[in-house]
Amino acid sequence: MDMFFAYLLIASATPLFLWLDNKKIALSSIPPIILMWVFFFFYMTSSLSPAGHSLMIALFIINVIIAHIAAFLIYGLPLIRKRMNR
């Protein structure tokens, strides 16, 4: 759970860093972040069902995938295009 909370803090700042490069990806990452905070609150208050735990893990995975796609689109793809045009 500590790793989830650490990622939640990092993910919460991600839209701020992505805003100047790609607003669409920054906005698409906000709903999973909000839902992760909601599920974290329910987890901390011990009112999360087993299905809620599964959904929380699924949201975590979705957010990790969005973050990796964003990193590739913003940093990896321009580098690949730059090297292909040489």
- Render pLDDT for 14-69 as a digit per residue (tens, 0 to 9): 788 778 877 887 888 788 888 878 877 877 787 778 887 788 788 778 877 877 88
Q: What pTM was estimated for this model as a whole?
A: 0.61
Q: Is 50 helix (H, G, I), strand (E, B) or coil?
A: helix
What is the helix (H) or strand (E) element at residue 86, kind and residue range?
A: none
Q: Is 26 helix (H, G, I), strand (E, B) or coil?
A: helix
Distances (CA, A) of 13 to 28, 34, 46, 63, 80: 13, 12, 26, 13, 26
> pLDDT confidence of 1, banded at 50, 70, 90?
low
Count of residues in the chain: 86
Query: What letter would DSSP give residue 76?
Result: I
